[in-house]
Amino acid sequence: MYLKRLKDLREDNDLSQEAISKVLKITRPQYSLYETGKRDIPVDLLRVLAKFYNTSIDYIVGDTNIYKRYPKSK
């Protein structure tokens, strides 16, 4: 699964692959594989990225164009 928004979000926030890989606690080459679509990114890492970018997993994977994060449920 190629997730163009992974790269777009990273670049829009002026971050390097190295910086994001540290957030995810993985190596930069491993993150690069996710960003280029050579490997599918696990859901647990998508959750971390959604929280980090303050958006939803749906936005990251392209299921919606609404950037705003969903409200927390009670």
pTM, rounded to two decimals: 0.87
Tokens standing for 24?
């995810």
Give the pLDDT of residue 69: 74
Q: Which domains does the chain have, with CATH numbers?
A: 4-61 (1.10.260.40)
CB 35 within 8 A of CB 17: yes
Tell me the backbone φ, ψ of residue 70, rounded to 5 degrees.
-65, 145
Could you list the pLDDT tens digit for every one of the 74 residues in the chain? Answer: 567 899 999 999 999 999 999 999 999 999 999 999 999 999 999 999 999 999 999 999 989 898 887 777 76
Closest by CA position to 49, among listed 72, 26, 73: 26
